[in-house]
Amino acid sequence: MAVSKIRVQLDLSPTEVKGLDRLRDKCGLRSRADAVRTALAVLEWVEGEARNGRKVVAIGGQDVSYLAVPGMTPVNDRAARE
């Protein structure tokens, strides 16, 4: 059974395209579309964690960095109130 697909067009700056291509290559992905799909999967996970009142962090030795994603603050605030 064939999977139906919908084409989506994005307007990105040259710098954003270079970043997308760099991430595609570093992650060993086949295409820009795969890079976008992967990014969407990560954003879905982050949103779910924030909605459940969790914080996403990176830990290296004694250093702890909290993930800050533009547009996620309202989700974090809403999750904290629920």
19-76, pLDDT tens digit by residue? 999 999 999 999 999 999 999 999 999 989 888 888 889 999 999 998 887 777 655 4
> Is residue 25 a part of any domain in this protein?
yes
Angle at 26 between CA 23 and CA 30, to 5 degrees: 80
Question: What residues make up the domain containing 55?
Answer: 14-81
Q: Is residue 74 included in any domain, yes or no? A: yes
Tokens coding 53:
């009142």
Question: What's the CA gap between 66 and 69, in Å, rounded?
Answer: 10
Q: Distance between alpha carbon 15 and the CA centroid of its chain, in Å?
A: 18
4 inside domain = no
Cα–Cα distance, 12 to 1 (Å, whole number): 33
Q: Would the pTM count as exceeding 0.85?
A: no
Single-letter residue type at 25: D
- Count up the domains in the chain and report the number: 1
Whether 45 is covered by a domain: the verdict is yes
Neighbouring-strand partners of residue 58: 65
**Is residue 1 domain-resident?**
no
Strands 63-66 and 57-60, bridge-based pairing = antiparallel
Confirm whether 6 is domain-assigned: no
